[in-house]
Amino acid sequence: MAGKDTLALLPTGGGKSICFQIPGLYLGGCTIVVSPLIALMKDQVHQLKKLGINADCLVSGMSKTAIDQALDNCIYGNTKFLYVSPERLKTELFLARLPSIKCNLIAVDEAHCISQWGYDFRPDYLEVAEIREFLPNVPIIALTATATPSVAIDIQEKLVFKSPNLIQKSFERTNLAYIIKQEEDKFYRLERLIQKTGGSGILYVQNRRKTEEYAQLLINREVSALAYHAGLDLFQRSEAQEKWINNEVQVIVATNAFGMGIDKPDVRWVVHFDIPENPESYFQEAGRAGRDEKKSYAVLMYDQTDLAALEQSVLRKYPSKEFIRKVYGWFMNHLKVAIGSGLEEFHDFDLVLFCKKYKIKQLDAMSALRILALEGLLNIPDASFELSRVKIKVSRRYFKEEESRESQMFDVLLRSYSGLFDFPTAIREPELAERLDWNLSEVQKVLRLMSKKGIVDYQELLESTSVLLTQERLKSNEINFKRANYNTLKSRAIERFKAMKQLLEKRDCRSRMLLEYFGEVSNKYCGKCDYCLSIKEKVGSSNSFITIANSVLFHLENSTALMHDLMEAHSKYDDALIIKVLELLEEQKMICVDGDIVSLSGSS
C-alpha cells in the first residue's frame, strides 16, 4: 500500500490472498492478478463475486469476444480484480489494452514459478516482468508459500524489484504433528486415524484412478468420501469441493491438484499415500490441515518401493537430450511441418495416436514435449493430455436381445474398460473406433445419443487439443537446451528428491528439518512428530525429555554453558534424564561438549 515492491513469503493458510485483495480494494482501480492455475483463478473469481466484488479472468480457450468484453469491463466498468494466466500476458490483444486499464497493483501468485531454482518453474512467468514496462509506477506483490532463500532472492530479481523487500512469516506450525512412517497396510492405518481423530480430512494419492478407488473403499467402510481430480468436469469438481467444505462429506480423496486457495480451517488431518516429489509440495499440501490452529495431523505413509518409484518418476521427467531431439523430429514429422516453417501455426494433436505411431510411452512423450515447451519451441495446453470419460447407468438387460449400434458400443466398452458402473472412467474414442471398425465421428455420435437416452454419462472432451508452434522448425541437432537450462532443472529436481528422501529417512524432528530446508534455523524439538514421540516413548518420561532438550538449546542460544550450570538449571529433573538429553543432542550434532563446556554446534 506504500507503493513498495514486496515479496510475501507465507506458509499455506497464512492469508496470501488477503495480502493483495485488501490493498487492491483500498487503492482503487483494477488489480491484475497473475496465477498459473485456471481452476484456482475461476474459484477465486467466484468467491469474490459472491462477496459482491467485481472480478473476471482471462484464460486460454476464451474467444476474442469474451476477452474483449472482460478487458472493456476493466477499462470502462468496475472490475476490481482481473486474474490472468501468464501466457495471456504477452498476447497482442492484452498488451494493446493494458495501458488503458487503471491498474494500481500487480499481484503474482505462486511466485516461485518464475524461478528456475523453484520446484515448479514455468517460462511463461518470465513474461510478468515485461508488463512492468507498460505500468512503470505500479507496485508488485509476489506471493508464495514455498520458497527457499535462493528462490526468494531469484523471485525479486526476476520481477525487477526496485529494492529488495521480503516479508516473511515463520513456517513453524506449532499445532501440526508431522507423522512419517513406513507402512505395509496404509489403508488400515488410515481407518485407525479416522476412527481416532475423526473430523474432516484430505487423502492425497498419485493418480485419478486411485482417487476413485480409495473414495469407494472408504464409502464401503461407511466413511463419507468423494473423489476429486482434473478429469472431472467443472461442475463435478465444484460440487465435490462444496460438499466437503460444508462438511456434508468427511473425506476428499484427491490428486495434488486439489486444495490451492481453498479456505477450510477445520481440516483435522492430511494423509499422503504417495510420496510428494519434493519438500515444497509436501509442506504446502500438509499445511492444509489445522488452519484453525487446533491440533491436527499431517501423515505420510510409504514403503521402499514408493521411494524407488519416486526416484524413477523424477528421472523420467528429464529424459536424455538425444531422446528429446528424436521426439521433436517425430513430432514435427507427425504434424507435417517442414524445416524452417511453422512459426505461430496451430496444429491438431492427438497424443495417443502420436505415441502409437512412433511406439513410445505416453509418459516419456509428455516429458520430452514438456522440455521442448520449456525451451520455447512449442506450446501444448494441458487439455491435450486429457481424455473423455464414461459411466454406465443401466444394466446389460436394458438391451434385451436386440442388436444395435448402441448395444455394440455397450459391449465393447465393457470389454475395454473396468469400473464403468462405479465412476466416470477415462476412455479413448480412437481405440473404440478401431475395435468396432467404425470411424471416429460415428463413435462420438453413438456415445452422445446413449448419453441423451440416459444409458451412459458421456463426458466428452471438448477442450482444444491444438498445439502452437512458437518457433519455426529447427533441425533436431540445432536444439541447444539453453532457454530452460535443462541441466540446471534436472540437477535441482534430483536435489529436491534427495531432500525429500532425507526427510523420510533421517531420524530427527520432522518440523525442524522442514524449517531448516526453508532456511529457518530451529533449535528446538516440536514434541509432536513421530520422531519426538518415539523419544518420549523410549525414555518413558512424557513431555519432560522434549522440555529439557528445548530448554538446554534455549540456554545455549547466545553463549556457552558449563555442564554443572546446565544440570543446576534443570535440577528438578532426574540427573540421569538430563544426561540422556545431552547425549542425544550431541549425537544429533545439535550441541558440542568439550570437557565441561557445552555449546551449540557451529558456534564459536
Report which secondary-structure segment, H or E, holds 6.
strand 6-9
User: Looking at per-residue confidence, does 23 or 468 come out higher?
Assistant: 23
Alpha helices per DSSP H over 518-562 = 530-539, 544-555
- List the one residue out of 20, 293, 17 whose CA is nearest residue 172: 293
- List the one residue out of 167, 61, 54 whose CA is nearest residue 382: 61
Q: How far is CA 363 from CA 43, 236, 300, 480, in A?
A: 29, 26, 25, 23
Residue 347: band (very low, low, confident or very high) from pLDDT cuts 50, 70, 90: confident
The answer to whether the CB of 61 falls within 8 A of the CB of 382 is no
**Which amino acid type is present at position 482?**
K
Query: Architecture of domain 6-168 in CATH?
Result: 3-Layer(aba) Sandwich (3.40)
**Which amino acid type is present at position 604?**
S
**Which amino acid type is present at position 410?**
F
- Torsions phi, psi for 60 (to 5 deg): -65, 145
As a CATH number, domain 176-302 is 3.40.50.300
Residues contacting 124, CB < 8 A, separation 6+? 36, 85, 86, 87, 89, 90
Does residue 30 sit in helix, strand or coil? strand
Q: Which stretches of 118-165 are assigned E, i.e. beta strand?
A: 140-144
Weakest-pLDDT range from 207-216, 228-237, 413-422, 556-565: 228-237
pLDDT, position 261: 63
Residue 604: band (very low, low, confident or very high) from pLDDT cuts 50, 70, 90: very low
Domain-wise residue ranges, the chain:
6-168, 176-302, 311-384+465-490, 387-459, 507-600
Q: How many CB atoms lie within 10 A of CB 533?
A: 15
Number of separate helices (H) and strands (E) present in the chain:
22, 22
**Which amino acid type is present at position 461?**
L
Q: What is the pLDDT of residues 132-155, one digit of tens each?
A: 889 999 999 999 988 889 899 999
Q: What is the pLDDT of residues 458-504, one digit of tens each?
A: 887 654 456 888 899 999 999 988 776 788 888 989 999 999 999 99
Q: What does DSSP assign to residue 249? A: S
Range 507-600 has CATH code 1.10.10: yes
Please state, for a pLDDT cut of 90, what percent of the chain lies above it.
45
Please, what is the average pLDDT of the chain? 87
> Does the pLDDT at position 340 exceed 60?
yes
> Does the pLDDT at position 386 exceed 60?
no
Q: How far is CA 495 from CA 212, 482, 580, in A?
A: 32, 20, 34
Please state, for a pLDDT cut of 70, what percent of the chain lies above it.
94
Cell numbers linked to 126: 518470465
Domains 176-302 and 507-600 share a fold: no
pLDDT, position 165: 96
Q: How far is CA 305 from the centre of its chain?
A: 23
Report which secondary-structure segment, H or E, holds 348.
strand 346-348
Residues contacting 515, CB < 8 A, separation 6+? 170, 171, 172, 521, 522
User: Looking at per-residue confidence, does 554 or 205 come out higher?
Assistant: 205
Weakest-pLDDT range from 83-92, 340-349, 352-361, 539-548: 539-548
Q: What is the pLDDT of residues 222-279, one digit of tens each?
A: 999 999 987 776 677 778 888 999 999 999 999 887 876 677 899 999 999 999 999 9
pLDDT, position 397: 83
Q: How far is CA 94 from CA 44, 131, 307, 467, in A?
A: 21, 10, 45, 21
The answer to whether the CB of 7 falls within 8 A of the CB of 142 is yes
Residues contacting 147, CB < 8 A, separation 6+? 9, 111, 112, 115, 118, 155, 518
Q: Which segment, 179-193, 400-414, 463-477, 567-581, is predicted with the most confidence on average?
A: 179-193
pLDDT, position 222: 94
> Does the pLDDT at position 181 exceed 90?
yes
**Which amino acid type is present at position 32?**
I
pLDDT, position 574: 78
> Does the pLDDT at position 541 exceed 60?
no
**Which amino acid type is present at position 288?**
R
Whole-angstrom Cα distance, residue 29 to residue 44?
18
Range 311-384+465-490 has CATH code 1.10.10.10: yes
Q: What is the mean pLDDT of residues 418-433?
A: 78
pLDDT, position 203: 97
Strand-by-strand arrangement of the 466-469 sheet: 346-348, 466-469, 378-379
pLDDT, position 463: 44
**Which amino acid type is present at position 569?**
A
> Does the pLDDT at position 215 exceed 60?
yes
